[in-house]
């Protein structure tokens, strides 16, 4: 068993709220300085995607129904696009929060930026994230990035407490047809910069269309247990790859500007983790032989090498 000090995850009260409601907000997890660095990198990454429609699977757009213009809605793989987002992957509190809800074999996954742009913020209809749980429903650990609070004006998230315990929502379509976005029992989830929303994949959630003057940017950090990922058919090479990526991000963060003084995240002696990484890799990354740089298989890039087509009117 690993006896190293561990960063704090959820408190008992927060864990109880997550179990009861399917989500919980943790305030002030990310420091103001780190949020500022993330926003700077975010501005740089978003700039070309706003000027033109980038023809790449990681970039998702929605057409404004009033103007017909494509509007950026989401960018996947943010940890490959910036040093700030790369080291956020290794943030000890985010990983510890993931462990609180997923168990000791937590494995990160998606690292996606969801954007509600000024002028037109595309709706996210009521939904659950990929369901069909085999072992344990996954979680999203969502980091709010913007200065202005996420509120009704810029399209904050809404959720239905306790809906994660329902097996199905066969009547969802009828409920939306009757009530629109304002479903009975739905509650708003206001957020501030640096706050983290932890929600079960199975909780019913969404956000309305908005035409705001303020932007809302949220990073979605997916967390599932290794047992769940294996049960979904992901092979050992995939598990090993993500384990090594995560360990590299933790090691790089420890020697970077935001890792100084932190208690670094470490896995608690699980046999699967040591087996996935291999002793030689652990010694090289954690033992000090190779403290910096992203894994060879995950090159850092400012922008994807893609064909970009001019957005209509962009």
Over residues 121-149, the mean pLDDT reads 76
- Predicted confidence at residue 293, as pLDDT, reads 36
pTM of the model: 0.83
To which H or E segment does residue 107 belong? strand 106-116
In total, how many domains does the chain have? 1
pLDDT of res. 207 = 85
C-alpha 287: how far from chain center: 29
* The pLDDT of residue 202: 87
Query: Which of 118-127, 248-257, 272-281 shows the lowest per-residue confidence on average (mean pLDDT)?
Result: 272-281
Residue 248: inside a domain, yes or no?
no
**pLDDT tens sequence across 8-61:** 999 999 999 999 999 999 999 999 999 999 999 999 999 999 888 999 999 999
User: 125 pLDDT band (50/70/90 cuts)?
Assistant: confident
Q: Which domain holds residue 199?
A: 12-225
**What was the pLDDT predicted at 267?**
74
- pLDDT score at 9: 94
| Core vs surface per residue 55-86: b (16+ CB within 10 A) or e | ebebbbbbebeeeebbbbbbbbbbbbbbebbb
User: Is residue 239 situated within a structural domain?
Assistant: no
Question: Higher pLDDT residue, 211 or 174?
Answer: 174
Strand order in the sheet with 205-207: 124-127, 205-207, 158-159, 187-188
Q: Give the pLDDT mean for 60-83.
A: 91
Q: What's the per-residue H, E or C state across 204-249?
A: CEEECCECCCCCEEEEEEEEEEHHHHHHCCCCHHHHHHHHHHHHHH
Q: With respect to residue 66, please indicate whether it lies within any of the assigned structural domains.
A: yes
Q: Is the pLDDT of residue 306 over 60?
A: no
Indicate which CATH number applies to the domain containing 39: 2.60.120.620
Token digits of residue 77: 């793989």
Rounded CA separation 303/50 (Å)? 13
Given this model, what pLDDT does residue 232 score?
77
In a domain, 286, yes or no: no
How far apart CA 53 and CA 181 sit, in angstroms, is 28
3-class DSSP state of 81: coil
Q: Which residue has the higher pLDDT, 303 or 15?
A: 15
The lowest-confidence range among 119-128, 171-180, 300-309 is 300-309
Tell me which of 42-56, 59-73, 189-203, 284-298 is least confident.
Answer: 284-298
Does 4 map to a domain?
A: no
**Is residue 40 included in any domain, yes or no?**
yes
What integer pLDDT is reported at residue 143 of this predicted model? 94
Model confidence at 187, in pLDDT bands (50, 70, 90)?
A: very high
Q: What is the pLDDT of residue 294?
A: 35
Q: What percentage of the chain reaches a pLDDT higher than 70?
A: 78
Residue 241 lies in a domain: no
Cα dihedral 80/86/88/94 (nearest 10): 70
Q: Give domain status of residue 106, yes or no.
A: yes
Three-state secondary-structure class, residue 79: helix
Per-residue pLDDT for 173 more than 90?
no
In this predicted structure, the answer to whether residue 147 has a pLDDT above a threshold of 70 is no
- In whole angstroms, give the CA distance from residue 309 to residue 118: 22
pLDDT of residue 296: 34
Span 81-102, mean pLDDT? 95
pLDDT in tens, 218-242: 999 999 888 888 887 777 788 888 8
The predicted structure's pLDDT at residue 288: 35
What contacts 51, CB < 8 A, 6 or more positions away? 311, 314
Which pLDDT belongs to residue 60?
Answer: 94
């Amino acid at each position: 068993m690993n006896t190293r000090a561990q960063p704090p995850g959820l408190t008992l009260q927060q864990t109880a709220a997550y179990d009861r409601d399917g989500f919980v907000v943790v305030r002030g997890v990310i420091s103001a300085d780190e949020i500022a660095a993330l926003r700077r990198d975010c501005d740089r990454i978003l700039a070309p995607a706003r000027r033109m429609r980038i023809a790449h699977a990681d970039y998702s757009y929605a057409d404004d129904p009033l103007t017909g213009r494509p509007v950026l809605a989401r960018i996947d793989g943010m940890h490959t696009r910036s040093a700030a987002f790369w080291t956020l992957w290794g943030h000890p509190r985010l990983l510890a929060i993931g462990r609180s809800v997923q168990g000791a074999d937590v494995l990160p996954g998606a690292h996606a930026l969801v954007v509600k742009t000024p002028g037109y913020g595309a709706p996210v209809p009521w939904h659950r994230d990929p369901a069909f749980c085999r072992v344990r429903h996954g979680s999203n650990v969502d980091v709010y990035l913007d200065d202005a609070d996420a509120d009704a004006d810029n399209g904050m998230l809404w959720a239905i407490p306790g809906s994660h315990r329902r097996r199905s929502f066969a009547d969802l379509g009828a409920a939306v047809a009757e009530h629109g976005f304002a479903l009975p029992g739905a509650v708003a989830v206001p957020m501030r910069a640096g706050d983290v929303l932890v929600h079960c994949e199975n909780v019913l959630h969404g956000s309305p269309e908005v035409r705001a003057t303020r932007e809302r940017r949220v990073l979605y950090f997916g967390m599932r247990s290794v047992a769940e990922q294996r049960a979904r058919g992901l092979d050992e090479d995939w598990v090993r790859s993500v384990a090594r990526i995560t360990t590299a991000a933790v090691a790089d963060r420890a020697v970077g500007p935001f890792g100084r003084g932190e208690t670094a995240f470490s896995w608690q002696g699980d046999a699967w983790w040591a087996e996935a990484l291999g002793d030689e890799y652990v010694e090289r990354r954690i033992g000090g032989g190779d403290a910096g740089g992203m894994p060879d298989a995950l090159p850092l890039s400012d922008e994807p090498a893609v064909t970009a087509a001019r957005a209509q009117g962009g």
